[in-house]
A and B are shown apart, each in its own frame.
Chain A
């Protein structure tokens, strides 16, 4: 099964930009992942899907300042012009069918603090 690794925390200044990283296990480096935002006390919200070629497709109502990209086994979520409302936990996830077995795996999440 794929393993997704995320740094536990990140921080940046209001109005700045930040790259959040999700790293796939090396043997699964071509897999597509999804990014989810979870504000405190709320349920996860779908942000976008990011493919190995860097292409991405956003969810409904996701602002243009949220962008996705890829490099090797790394999948990125770039947030520009950070707002206080962006302070949240960001999870990456991967849906797969392996040997007929469907599953979904998540990274440990990155808690983003906007200073």
Chain B
């Protein structure tokens, strides 16, 4: 039972354009959401997070949007850079539960120069 879903396995964009990565979740108890970036042969690196009390969080070129009613979040990267090419994981956790993160399968982003 996949509680966090990243339905598109890959995305390719041109440098300078916007990258939009989507994530859906099924567990209504999730109230904290994170995006991680992973390069080959490295562990995931935290990118940005959002609490369920907010619907948007921005950090430089990265913005995460949360739509609780749709159980959907998205990560926007603008402008995209070749160094952003990596696998991106969406993750979620539930306060009052075990606080462990539940990850999606990931999406491979390729930014072409």
Whether chain B is bound by chain A comes out as no
Which residues on A are within 8 Å of B, measured CB to CB? none
Which residues on B are within 8 Å of A, measured CB to CB? none
